[in-house]
């Protein structure tokens, strides 16, 4: 028979606590880099920014919220905070900002987390 102490040890070893997870899931950081890379196309068309800025924000915010909530098991508030932060970075009308930050976040969260958590 398994005691309750054994069960608690097993669940904490699995990395289920928020302190064991990266703040931003690697998939969210990768998504930021991909959407930010699309700015190389729209960068020269300043007239289209009225459309591309909100679309870039939404293209990162919605999937990042879902990744953080469902895969990273964050609370709704934490998932919305991360999604808002990455969405704003993706909406900056230059491909440099999200790519540099996304690469840093990907390195911090670890590429191993991309396969480990999916």
Q: Residue 9 — pLDDT band, cuts 50, 70, 90?
A: very low
User: Could you report the per-residue pLDDT of 61-81, keeping only the tens digit for each?
Assistant: 999 999 999 999 999 999 999
- Specify if 67 maps to a domain: yes
- Specify if 80 maps to a domain: yes
Host domain of residue 60: 29-116
- Specify if 17 maps to a domain: no
Tell me the C-alpha distance between 82 and 90, whole Å.
Answer: 12
Q: Residue 98 — pLDDT band, cuts 50, 70, 90?
A: low
Q: pTM value?
A: 0.69
User: Could you report the per-residue pLDDT of 103-112, keeping only the tens digit for each?
Assistant: 787 777 766 5
């Amino acid at each position: 028979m398994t005691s309750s102490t054994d069960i608690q040890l097993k669940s904490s070893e699995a990395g289920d606590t928020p302190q064991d997870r990266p703040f931003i899931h690697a998939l969210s950081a990768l998504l930021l880099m991909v959407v930010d890379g699309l700015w190389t196309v729209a960068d020269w068309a300043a007239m289209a920014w009225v459309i591309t800025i909100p679309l870039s924000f939404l293209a990162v915010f919605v999937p990042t919220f879902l990744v953080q909530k469902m895969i990273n098991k964050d609370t709704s508030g934490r998932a919305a905070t991360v999604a808002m932060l990455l969405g704003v970075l993706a909406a900056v009308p230059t491909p440099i900002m999200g790519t540099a930050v996304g690469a840093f976040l990907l390195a911090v969260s670890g590429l191993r987390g991309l396969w480990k958590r999916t």
